[in-house]
Amino acid sequence: MRAFPGPEAAAECLARESSLQEIAEADGREYLWVWEVEMPSVVMGHSADCVLEVRHEACERAGIPVLRRQSGGRSVLLGKGCLNYTLILRCDKAGLQEGYRLILDAVLDAARVTEARQESTDLTVGGRKFGGCAQRRRRHTLLHHGTLLYDFDIASVSQYLTDPRRQPSYREGRPHVDFLTNVDFHPDFAHRLAARFSEATVVS
């Protein structure tokens, strides 16, 4: 895993994901990339409402970039202590829901978090979320990217993101600080995940 330190890092990482999917569309190969950014960045889903989801004045004061990814889902805060993984797979392996299930099963197996489970597309333990994900599907490939919180400043999330209007039922209206949690996952997560997707080229 490589950690990217600069404030522009998240934008570069999102661009690299898109580039990898373009390459995969052309060459038919699959790719796996595990990475982390050290500087906080807000990343919105492709159709997210930036006014409703992001506290822009707070982000501007703190010098935190607000970016938009090409997959769906709600806005997230990335930064140190939040591990990211990117999978680019062929679309012919599974449908949408089955694809999420198969990938998250593999992520849970690689992470080895005690009593962790799937709640739709979230990964949870004790009713609190430690992992999220989203997908972008193209003609031949799907880009699946996700996060795992292990030493993240959860209290900072509410400083830069509002509580989402649409929430999963298991959240029960809890604010970010009471809904999210850090976990200890397997120290060899990246290699274990690569073993589950043995056809994928591991990107460093």
Contacts of 117 (CB under 8 A, 6+ apart): 108, 123, 124, 125
The DSSP annotation for 99-159 comes to: HHHHHHHHHHHHH--TT-EEETTEEEETTEEEEEEEEEE-SSEEEEEEEEESS--GGGHHH
Report the CATH number of the 2-203 domain: 3.30.930.10
For 46-61, what is each residue's pLDDT tens digit? 988 888 999 999 999 9
For the entire predicted model, the pTM comes to 0.94
Q: How confident is the model at residue 7 (pLDDT cuts 50, 70, 90)?
A: low
The arithmetic mean of pLDDT across residues 139-147, rounded, is 96
Least-confidence region, from 2-11, 23-32, 96-105, 123-132: 2-11
CA–CA gap between residue 139 and residue 134 (Å, rounded): 17
Break the chain into its structural domains and give their ranges. 2-203
For 165-181, what is each residue's pLDDT tens digit? 889 999 999 999 999 99
**125 strand-pairing partners:** 128
Least-confidence region, from 68-77, 86-95, 172-181: 86-95
**Percent of the chain residues past pLDDT 90, beyond the cut:** 86
For 105-131, what is each residue's pLDDT tens digit? 999 999 999 999 999 999 999 999 999
